[in-house]
Amino acid sequence: MTDTSQYDALPTDTIDPRQVIGGARASGTGQVFHAVSPWTGEALEPAFTAGSSADIDAAAQEAAQAFASYRHTHPVDRAVLLETIAEELEADRPTLVARAHAESALPLARLEGELRRATGQLRFFADILRDGWPFDVRVDTGSTGPTPRPDLRLMQVPLGPVVVFGASNFPFAFSNAGGDTAAALAAGCPVIVKCHEAHPGTAVLVSQAVQRAVAKTRMPEGVYSALLSPAHEFGAELVAHPNVSAVGFTGSRTGGLALMKVAAARPRPIPFFAEMSSVNPVVILGDGANAQTAQGFVASFTLGAGQFCTNPGLLFVLDDARGKEFVSAAAVGVAEQVGQTMLTPGIARAFSAGVERMLARPGVTERASGTPGESEFAPAPRLFETTAGAFQADPTMQEEIFGAAALVVRCTDTADILACLAHLEGQLTATLHVTAAEHDAAREILPALELLAGRLIVNGWPTGVEVAEPMTHGGPFPATSDGRSTSVGALAINRFLRQVTWQSFPAELLPAQLTDDNPWNLPRRFVCRETA
Amino acid sequence: MTDTSQYDALPTDTIDPRQVIGGARASGTGQVFHAVSPWTGEALEPAFTAGSSADIDAAAQEAAQAFASYRHTHPVDRAVLLETIAEELEADRPTLVARAHAESALPLARLEGELRRATGQLRFFADILRDGWPFDVRVDTGSTGPTPRPDLRLMQVPLGPVVVFGASNFPFAFSNAGGDTAAALAAGCPVIVKCHEAHPGTAVLVSQAVQRAVAKTRMPEGVYSALLSPAHEFGAELVAHPNVSAVGFTGSRTGGLALMKVAAARPRPIPFFAEMSSVNPVVILGDGANAQTAQGFVASFTLGAGQFCTNPGLLFVLDDARGKEFVSAAAVGVAEQVGQTMLTPGIARAFSAGVERMLARPGVTERASGTPGESEFAPAPRLFETTAGAFQADPTMQEEIFGAAALVVRCTDTADILACLAHLEGQLTATLHVTAAEHDAAREILPALELLAGRLIVNGWPTGVEVAEPMTHGGPFPATSDGRSTSVGALAINRFLRQVTWQSFPAELLPAQLTDDNPWNLPRRFVCRETA
């Protein structure tokens, strides 16, 4: 149990409300805005002055200047930076958690866990930097034989300043010092965070911890900036800035698609990595449909008011006795649920609108509803039901409702399930529940799931994205803008790296990473092909 | 020396002019078109009927169907397919070279070498498949300790059907069975080639060799199709087809940018890898400026009528005695050059237009001109000269002139060179000529070159892209559409792969690539992190 009393007396309304530009703080020059209480919609103190074009330009100049030296830093020095950020965040844990709670309504214990996740991610990338494999050094010394070939040496180098958009649903783990920031800093790229407007106070507190770590490790100050603004155009302007070389985004499909267009329309288009929407389909076969699975399903899609990108919002089950029992058990579970206050009043309203749209669709019935929570913005969890035929007839039925809602699709057989899956868009995850008796059917379903998603789960639930090397948090469009990438796991660093080859260099002009004596002790792949 | 007599009697005008759709041939349904003789502009036999929307759809359906099984093939089986394609191409060498010569005017010896390069690339990817490392298998078996973590297993899987655009300047190595096709087939992706309209006969002959290899190795027929059309809209329609999952393109900036927009505007945007334009800057310092370097420069930028993506079209040299001597020697070299017939009359006309534009720019003078060749479409090689000031004042001066033309920029000092480099767009390559005496200046220049290009060369020339594991043939926009990728070298396969994670799978449901007993014998990375 979390001892919540420790947070009560923390005066988080005295936060310095200014923009974070490199090592400095600057008053924004735009309009004033406030975070709002998720419980009441009332403004929280302090007032933040939104950043302007001048602030974007200042942060971008700082980032470009920092890149000139930061890109050449030793991986171990970057590892120390990441570890120091983690330490500074831990030092501020009570204030951070208290303010994040006030701005997001996320439970204190969850926020404590999320902060541990964020510091864990920073240390995870520090470990990877100490390993050094992401730089993918490859050496082919060529040959001087009858068919001479040049000496070629390859490594991955950082792209340049990266813009990271904070996510409303993870004020720590996918925001200012979250996964994208950790991956970009690890890659050697300065970061400019567009703070999420729902938790500006948390964003500033986290940013101050990052600033302290940058100063302590004597890194160039412009390696991190954080800008505040509630205006969508502000984010677009940031993405369009000529100094920016890549973007990491976690948020809505509307927002992601709009910024994806901005990134592509620049005179110099840049890689844009958005994690957008996913309903994370679940398929239940045979004895997989039981009361325990039903309980797991309800727990997963109502977890944290359903505000996870990996929320299983769509489930396919066979319309037989076991399937009916499963749906009944899930309905009982949902009816017992009480709504939790959502991240923002706007998100709560969007949830209700999504529920209305779902109820208006032909063939959809509400199977169960929980009880609304105590605040105005704590809508009741919902369970909807439809048939495979109705589902296949209406492509809008797979629309994500961000929150604690799920749609169960009753199917007649495996073929029916496969027909439904063929209608699905790209997903972050796809899950299958089976017992050994259904492995033949599972072998029919799994290849279809593999085409759909970035992560496949058997007999588990998609919520909970382990920070581990082989993790994928990504998936085919529209789950993400580029289904080849991930925002969690070791390979997330690849988004901010590009390969460069050094040809026929004298040893004295090679970067340290590539010389024969390997002073940085990086893992490398030597290629010795025979000369034809 | 190449014995050219062997090619004389080959009747390459009897080529079957139909579309290649999977294992079948189909008459196009669009307008009739011909290849033209690069020497005369006259139509070559036979007449090809351009493909239509129906042909695109047929090829795309075949590709989707083939993908269902091809994506699960063993890497070694794919290696055998690539090797068999190489053998079939070699079996047809005389006909292939004769027809490519008739369609491109490229010298016979060059085409023989290029065909060796193409078969070498196919075998190179076969070797990589036998190694198995591109699948990047990573296993974390989790833990059952106090903080249980799931079993996670990651590998790279193929994206889906890939469209490859043939390049005019490499009828073998960057066209139907070129690098993109080899990389995509290696990744597990079926390929649909949009044949280059300048060499449709070569394209069909190569495609027939591929078809024979597909049949011999019993691969699904739809794994390869090749469509013919001179219409730009045809390529756009192919890129827009819903079955297509990625595109590889080598060609003009105009064409690449137009198709990049098509790929981004699809309901499901797809990765689009274009290699477009580059002037491949060369910097000469101190004693690097000598008669031998001047000779190397002229040889490199006039090689193959200058029709290489890596043609060094822009050179910075110090305006001192050695620099003046260098430019004089280069001018003498260019004056001795005779123009070669270019790939197509259109390309020759575009060259002349580019020359006119260059001459019209304030501050540019023609320093030397060679002699036009014997045909109507063999323009004289040109050497232009300007000052650093004029260069920095006119951003259009870095425009690529595809062909044997180069611009020398005279600079006062290293700072002047750096100021010029800061004005440059992204490039495929950047080259530096120095002796040990200039290594300090080199250390100032090289970091700027690293930001500009995908490949850096010291005391060599960029033409000649070795097929080797650590090669990069890519670079920041607009050299390519995605500066993180390459079209040559081992990592080219990554463009057509995406990562997927398998979580908590029972052993019986895991793909063979991921099971503990590793029956496919793939290299894998086991991760054993301590549980916190």
Rounded CA gap, A410 and A468, in Å? 35
Amino acid at A516: D
Which among A138, A436, A454 has CB closest to B501? A454
Contacts of A142 in chain B (CB under 8 A): 466, 468
Any idea what DSSP says for residue A335?
H
Predicted pLDDT of residue B465? 94
Q: B189 an active-site residue?
A: no
pLDDT of B531 reads: 47
A454 interaction partners in chain B (CB closer than 8 Å): 498-501
Using only C-alpha atoms, chain B has a radius of gyration, in whole angstroms, of: 25
Distance of CA A225 to the CA centre of its chain: 19
Would the CB atoms of B469 and A497 count as touching at under 8 Å?
no
β-partners of residue A157 are A498
Instruction: State the ipTM, two decimals.
Output: 0.97
User: With contacts defined as CB-CB under 8 Å, which chain A residues touch B471?
Assistant: 152, 154, 501
A interface test, pick of B484, B486, B527 with most A CB neighbours within 10 Å: B484
Handedness of CA A224, A229, A234, A236 (dihedral sign): positive
Measured between beta carbons, which residues in chain B are less than 8 angstroms from residue A459?
504, 506
All residues at 6 or more sequence positions from A360 whose CB lies less than 8 Å from its CB, including other chains: none
Q: A509, B472: Cβ pair inside 8 Å? A: no
Task: Give pLDDT tens digits for B258-269.
Answer: 999 999 999 999
Q: What's the whole-number mean pLDDT along residues B101-126? A: 97
Percentage of chain A lying above the pLDDT 90 cut: 92
Q: What DSSP character marks residue B331?
A: H
Shortest Cα distance, chain A CAs vs residue B494, angstroms: 9
Q: How far apart are the first and last CA of chain B?
A: 68
Task: Tell me the residue length of chain A.
Answer: 532
Say if residue B435's pLDDT is above 80: yes
Residues B41-78: pLDDT tens digits?
A: 999 999 999 999 999 999 999 999 999 999 999 999 99
Contacts of B238 (CB under 8 A, 6+ apart): B56, B163, B192, B194, B227, B244
| Range list of H helices, B217-344 | 232-240, 253-265, 291-302, 321-335
Q: φ and ψ at B317, to 5 degrees?
A: -140, 150
Hey, are the CB atoms on A436 and B506 less than 8 Å from each other? yes
What crossing angle do the helices spanning B108-131 and B75-91 adopt, rounded to 10°? 160
Judge contact between B378 and B343, C-beta under 8 A: no
The whole-angstrom distance between B485's CA and the closest CA on chain A is 7
Minimal Cβ distance to B471: which of A68, A152, A439: A152
Which whole number is the average pLDDT over B126-146? Answer: 91
Out of B83, B103, B114, B275, pick the active-site residue.
Answer: B275
Best of A117, A457, A484, A504 to mutate (most B CBs within 10 Å, chain B): A484
The span from the CA of B346 to the CA of B358, in Å, is: 18
Give the C-alpha separation, A443 to A460, whole Å.
Answer: 17
B275 strand-pairing partners: B250, B480
Query: Looking at the predicted structure, is the pLDDT value of residue B344 above 90?
Result: yes
Residue B191 structure tokens: 């390929």
pLDDT in tens, chain A (532 residues): 456 677 876 777 789 999 999 999 988 777 899 999 999 999 999 999 999 999 999 999 999 999 999 999 999 999 999 999 999 999 999 999 999 999 999 999 999 999 999 999 999 999 999 999 999 999 999 986 677 899 999 999 999 999 999 999 999 999 999 999 999 999 999 999 999 999 999 999 999 999 999 999 999 999 999 999 999 999 999 999 999 999 999 999 999 999 999 999 999 999 999 999 899 999 999 999 999 999 999 999 999 999 999 999 999 999 999 999 999 999 999 999 999 999 999 999 999 999 999 999 999 999 999 999 999 999 999 999 999 999 999 999 999 999 999 999 999 999 999 999 999 999 999 999 999 999 999 999 999 999 999 999 999 999 999 999 999 999 999 999 999 999 999 999 999 999 999 999 999 999 999 999 999 999 999 886 554 4
Cβ contact, residue pair B509, A443, below 8 Å: yes
What beta strand segments (E) does A169-312 contain? 191-194, 224-227, 246-250, 272-275, 282-284
- What pLDDT score does A531 carry? 47
Strands A32-33 and B24-26: unpaired
Interface test with B, best of A65, A71, A154 (most B CBs within 10 A): A154
Residue-wise pLDDT tens digits, A160-185: 999 999 999 999 999 999 999 999 99
**Nearest CB partner across the interface for A500, out of B154, B456, B490:** B456
From chain B, the residues in CB contact with A183 under 8 A are none
Which pLDDT score, from 0 to 100, does residue B3 have?
64
Residue of A270, A293, A499 to mutate for B, most B C-beta atoms under 10 A:
A499
Question: CB distance B466–A152 less than 8 Å?
Answer: yes
Concatenating the DSSP letter of every residue in B137-185 gives EEEE--B-SSS-B--EEEEEEE-S-EEEEPPTT-TTTTSTTSHHHHHHH
Task: Provide the Cα torsion B459, B463, B469, B470; round to 10°.
Answer: 40
Please judge whether A504 and B268 are an interchain contact, meaning their C-beta atoms are less than 8 angstroms apart.
no
Please give the Cα distance from B442 to B457 (Å, whole number): 12
- Which residue from A154, A160, A425 is facing B470, i.e. has the nearest CB? A154
Q: B49 to chain A, minimum CA–CA distance in Å? A: 35
Residue in chain B lying closest to A459 (CA): B504
Question: By three-state DSSP, how is residue B267 classified?
Answer: coil
Which residues of chain A neighbour B434 with C-beta distances below 8 Å? 509
CA A527 vs CA A228, A524, B493: distances in Å: 48, 10, 17
Domains, chain B, with CATH or none: 24-36+46-276+487-494 (3.40.605.10), 282-458 (3.40.309.10)
Spatial CA neighbour of B141 closest among B531, B528, B530: B528
Q: What is the DSSP letter of B388?
A: H
User: Which residues in B lie closer than 8 A to residue A271 (C-beta atoms)?
Assistant: 482, 484
Q: What is the pTM of this model?
A: 0.97
- Yes or no: say if A208 and A234 are a contact pair by the CB < 8 Å rule: no
Q: Do A269 and B490 touch (CB under 8 A)?
A: no
Task: Name the residue of chain A whose CA is nearest to B447's CA.
Answer: A68
Cα(B180)–Cα(B488) distance, integer angstroms: 8
Q: How far apart are CA A154 and CA A500, in angstroms?
A: 6
Token digits of residue A497: 């790296």
B275 catalytic residue (yes or no): yes
Query: Residue B486 carries which side chain, given as an amino acid letter?
Result: T
Residues of A within 8 A of B490 (CB-CB) are: 138
Give the Cα separation of A218 and A69 in Å (integer).
12
Surface-to-core class of residue B429, CB atoms within 10 Å of its CB (0-12 exposed, 13-18 middle, 19+ buried): buried
Query: Which structure tokens are listed for A450?
Result: 């593999």
Closest chain A CA to residue B503: A457
> Is A350:A307 a contact under the CB 8 Å cutoff?
no
Give residue B331's Cα distance to chain centre: 30
What integer pLDDT is reported at residue B1 of this predicted model? 47
The 10 Å CB-count burial string (b at 16+, else e) for B516-532 is: eeeebebebeebeeeee
Closest CA in chain B for residue A529: B468
